Amino acid sequence: MFRVLRILCVTMLLRCPACQRGQMFRTLFQMNVRCPVCGVVFERDAGEVTGAMAINTALMSIMAIAGAALAIVTDFPAGWIIGGTAVVMVLFGVFFYRHARAVWVGILFLTGAIFEDV
Ligand SMILES: [Zn+2]
């Protein structure tokens, strides 16, 4: 359990889950194909980015539900709540994108789908 938390924390810091030193991203939105330190391939198969999209979508859905609950519970104007929730969701989706991809790589690493080549 401690290993799982450690790997997920390391990937949230955008570091390689295998060596925990290499940076996963070379630019704001471009992931390295391989870890610059240990050489592990981060996304072996095409389409593995969809896991990160699922993480982002799930978290944004929770935000939408929280926004709807806020609109029901409070007396705030619904238009402001809808607009504010939409802005927060878009900003979160953009800024959390790298972390969602990195966490997904960490999950793949924990399940054995990402491994060091020997
Ligand atoms: Zn590495």
Measure 38 CA to ligand 1 centroid, in angstroms: 4
Task: Tell me the pLDDT tens digit for each residue of 5-30.
Answer: 999 999 999 999 999 999 999 998 88
- Give the start-to-end residue ranges of the domains of the chain: 2-110
Ligand 1 centre to CA of 98 (Å) is 17
Ligand 1 centroid – CA 40 distance (Å): 6
**pLDDT above 80: residue 114:** no
Q: Which residues pair with 25 in a beta bridge?
A: 31
Question: 41 CA to middle of ligand 1, Å?
Answer: 9
Q: 116 C-alpha to center of ligand 1: Å?
A: 8
Confidence of residue 118 (pLDDT cuts 50, 70, 90): low
Q: How far apart are CA 45 and CA 68, in angstroms?
A: 37
Among 91, 5, 93, 109, CA closest to 48: 109
Distance 118 CA to ligand 1 centre (A): 13
Residue 57 DSSP symbol: H
User: How far away, in angstroms, is 97 Cα from ligand 1 center?
Assistant: 20
Half-sphere exposure of 9 toward its Cβ, with a 13 Å CA cutoff?
6
Distances (CA, A) of 8 to 33, 60, 98: 19, 19, 13
Provide the percentage of residues in the chain whose pLDDT is more than 70: 98
Q: Please give the distance, rounded to the nearest whole angstrom, from the Cα atom of residue 39 to the centre of ligand 1.
A: 6
pLDDT, mean of residues 89-118: 87
Query: Which amino acid, one-letter code, is at 51?
Result: G
Give per-residue pLDDT as tens, 81-102: 999 999 999 999 899 999 999 9
